[in-house]
Amino acid sequence: MTHLSPVTRIILLTLKAFRKYYKGLVFLLLAVLLSCNPSSQVNEQVYRGEALGTTYQVKFFHTEKLDLQKGLDSIFKVINTSMSTYQADSDISRINSGDTTIVVDENFREVFNYSQQIFNESNGFFDPTVGKLVNAYGFGPEAGKVQLSKEMLDSIKQFVGFQKVELTRSNHIKKEHPGIYLDFNAIAKGYTVDVIARYLDSKNVNDYLLELGGELVAKGVNQYKEEAWAVGIDTPMEEERERELYAAVKLENRAMATSGNYRKFRIDSLSGQRFVHTINPITGFAEKSNLLSASVLAENCTLADGYATAFMALGLEKSIEMAQKLENVEVYLIYTDEENKVKTYITPGFESSLLAEN
């Protein structure tokens, strides 16, 4: 920490001393600003807002004051126009409605191809066509309690299976059945963060931390702290008011995404064990899972987002098997054991990124 004034040094030490007591929301950004540093020659800039049905924060350092709001708004608009299932006139909504004339854009193609990759790597457990099956079981706190007959499942499963969808050379979407419903919400947020990262790269921004709905990309360092960006993983607690930080992660030129249902877990009336319901896209059944959360470090946020979703669908044992086969991907899994104790499975690469409590 060279070129820091005595006052700034004191503030740094004080912040580090209190870091372990800091509680907050999932993916809480731990990089606190030290704006009193008189020697700093860079401008710290922060953009916050709402987009894609969630919130975002873009934080970066640059020697010049940059106006990026129009660029960010343009990115969100383009992504929504391409892949928002909540926008009736988006490309994906029109495709889902049966329009076969849509020529999809580069954003759609990239997300489609990444989805196909993760679909294959997860043996079909990551599936952007599973929406109709999920909806059939019910959405929200009562999800997984609806009992579907075999006949009902069979009728729905004909619409499930990403292998039944093709991206043609002419950039049209071809479906085996017109009723197949595409939904990229499990990967589109991560992809959007990557697009924002490219945008900042084009502006010669070398130090930034981006977050959209909990999906993150970091590059360079937090210049005020002169160290890597730090982010948090939330602890799985039963009550919302008890939320606190479970782990702190050093994010260095990587992306991180977390998927989890630990706010919607249930207690088994016989064993007392915590579990969540996940939909098995292969069998169509809603199954109990003791995997509460999956956090993933990857080279980009599209992959991190998709893998985190895939792990939640796979469950603990299959997630560990898959994680061991992936290159340049690290995972942090939170689960409950037979005695209802919260445990973690951490790959060595992820463990090396954890920040020790001071």
- For the chain, give the secondary structure using H, E and C: CCCCCHHHHHHHHHHHHHHHHCCCCCCCECCCCCCCCCCCCCEEEEEEEEECCEEEEEEEEECCCCCCHHHHHHHHHHHHHHHCCCCCCCHHHHHHCCCCCCCCCHHHHHHHHHHHHHHHHCCCCCCCCCHHHHHHHCCCCCCCCCCCCHHHHHHHHCCCCHHHEEECCCCCEEECCCCCCCCCHHHHHHHHHHHHHHHHHHCCCCEEEEEECCEEEEECCECCCCECEEEEEECCCCCHHHCCEEEEEEECCCEEEEEECHHHCEECCCCCCEEEEEECCCCCCEEEECEEEEEEEECCHHHHHHHHHHHHHHCHHHHHHHHHHCCCCEEEEEEECCCCCEEEEECHHHHCCECCCC
Tell me the average pLDDT across 319-346: 93
From 204-208, 267-271, 328-332, 347-351, the region with the lowest mean pLDDT: 267-271
**Whether residue 330 has pLDDT greater than 90:** yes
Tell me the average pLDDT across 37-62: 85
Residue 6 tokens read as 């005595």
**Do 131 and 183 touch, CB atoms closer than 8 A?**
yes
Tell me the average pLDDT across 242-265: 77
**Whether residue 333 has pLDDT greater than 70:** yes
List, in sequence order, every residue forming a beta bridge with 289; answer none if it has no partner: 276
Tell me the average pLDDT across 332-355: 91
Tell me the average pLDDT across 22-31: 38
Q: What is the pLDDT of residue 272?
A: 52
**Whether residue 70 has pLDDT greater than 90:** yes
Interval 140-183: pLDDT, tens: 433 444 567 888 888 899 999 999 999 999 999 999 999 999 99
**Nearest CA to 307 among 255, 236, 238, 249?**
255
Rama region for 240: left / alpha / beta (φ>0; ψ in -120 to 50; rest): alpha
Going 270 to 272 to 275 to 276, the CA torsion angle's sign is positive
Cα–Cα distance measured from residue 249 to residue 267, given in angstroms and rounded to the nearest whole number? 30
Class of domain 73-185: mainly alpha
**What's the mean pLDDT when you consider all of the chain?**
83
Annotated binding-site ranges: 186, 305, 309
Residue 155 tokens read as 């009728």
Q: What is the pLDDT of residue 26?
A: 38
**Whether residue 13 has pLDDT greater than 70:** no
Cα–Cα distance measured from residue 193 to residue 26, given in angstroms and rounded to the nearest whole number? 17
**Nearest CA to 196 among 118, 112, 107, 258?**
107
Collect all residues with Cβ–Cβ distance below 8 Å to 294 and sequence separation of at least 6: 258, 259, 260, 307, 308, 311, 312, 319, 331, 332, 333, 334
Cα–Cα distance measured from residue 83 to residue 183, given in angstroms and rounded to the nearest whole number? 8
pTM: 0.83
Q: What is the pLDDT of residue 290?
A: 85
Annotated binding-site ranges for Mg(2+): 186, 305, 309
Cα–Cα distance measured from residue 162 to residue 171, given in angstroms and rounded to the nearest whole number? 16
Cα–Cα distance measured from residue 30 to residue 231, given in angstroms and rounded to the nearest whole number? 5
